[in-house]
A and B are shown apart, each in its own frame.
Chain A
Amino acid sequence: MEPATSQVWIIIVVLGICTYLIRLSFMGLIGDRPLPEWLLRMLRYTPVAVLPAVVAPMLLGSGAHSGDALRIGAALATLVVGLTTRNVLWAIATGFGLFFGIGALLG
């Protein structure tokens, strides 16, 4: 069933405003007031804590493609190249090359 127009717009506008406020939250309110040392220490680990939590369910969770050997292989290769070269571009190129290259070969 297609969603009603008013429902769609309510969802879009409320989601848009609230998402913006989430993004502005700390950045907008705190400004240049100093943060405590323990908090800064934790915040330094934010990308390393959040991004793997976003990725892991896509690869190992219950989704349609999780557990797929080609995907996990390409992901591992990306990880290894990223760890050894410390270069984002090489890591992306390796992963994409493997995934789409082998994917095309297998048809």
Chain B
Amino acid sequence: MASLNTSQFKRGIFDGLPFHLVLVPFGAIFGVIATEAGLNLVQVMGFTVLVIAGAAQLTALQLMLDNAPTLVVIVTALAVNLRMAMYSASLVPHLGPAPFWMRALAAYFLFDQPYALSSIAFEKEPSRTAIEKVSYFLGVGIPLAISWYVATLAGALLGERIPAQMGVDFAVPLTFIAVVAPMMRTVAHVATALTSVVLVIALSFMPYGSGLLVAALIALFVGAQVELWVEKRKARS
């Protein structure tokens, strides 16, 4: 059985360090809100361990508090997580050749931060093997997941002693901007990001989650078209 690459795993752990600062307060907030909503400790932790997706967890919780039907809660929270199908697809060229058990394990940790860090790392050094890439990915994901569990537990136990209005919700958009900005290497990347921002705002009337998906899909297409167009122009000149 193939084994993970220790040095890549360690690099993943190291690169993931700053993101703990973001996940810990966010997880704690979820723990506080979920407990105040009437979930017991086992339910709060079950939620965090099984779903392991902050935005979807908060969405589901909000809808549960609004007494939404079970099916509506599930479908809406899943729509929030559908972007992960795109993450899954975009990692295929990198992780595809790794053994199935590694990919199955990696799939559990496929949330925003490990995905974002790995896609930067894999683009910088495409020559890494699939095993090295899986190792790096898990090195980012596993410690962050543990932080997420511990933070949720702390939030659930400490309850209202943690102030919910510290502005920690802003930590998430801020880190995403910090991750995306260095990726703006070509006109195509800039065009993709701008399309995505303009469309997601324009489509904000669509039910939660679906506007994001339409915006992101069209933005992907725009990025690819701009890349083709730039290549053609270069070939001509």
Give A contacts to B, CB under 8 Å.
Answer: 1-3, 5, 7-20, 22-28, 30-33, 35, 38, 40-62, 65, 71, 74-75, 78-79, 81-83, 85-89, 91-92, 95-96, 99-100, 103
Contact = CB atoms under 8 A, between A and B. Distances in A.
Interface residues of B, number: 92
B225 to A, nearest CB: 9
A88 B18 contact: yes
B interface, over-half SS: helix
A46 B119 contact: yes
B163 interface: no
26 contacts: A8-B43, A11-B70, A17-B50, A19-B53, A20-B108, A23-B84, A23-B88, A28-B100, A28-B103, A31-B103, A41-B228, A43-B93, A43-B220, A45-B220, A46-B90, A49-B86, A51-B180, A52-B180, A52-B197, A53-B216, A60-B201, A79-B181, A87-B182, A89-B18, A91-B182, A100-B167
B83 interface: yes
Contacts of B228: 41
Interface of B: 18, 21, 37-39, 43, 46-47, 50-53, 55-56, 60, 64-65, 67, 70, 73-74, 77-78, 81-93, 95-97, 100, 103-104, 106-108, 110, 112, 115-116, 119-120, 123, 130, 167, 169-184, 188-189, 192-193, 195-197, 199-201, 204, 212, 215-217, 219-221, 223-224, 227-228
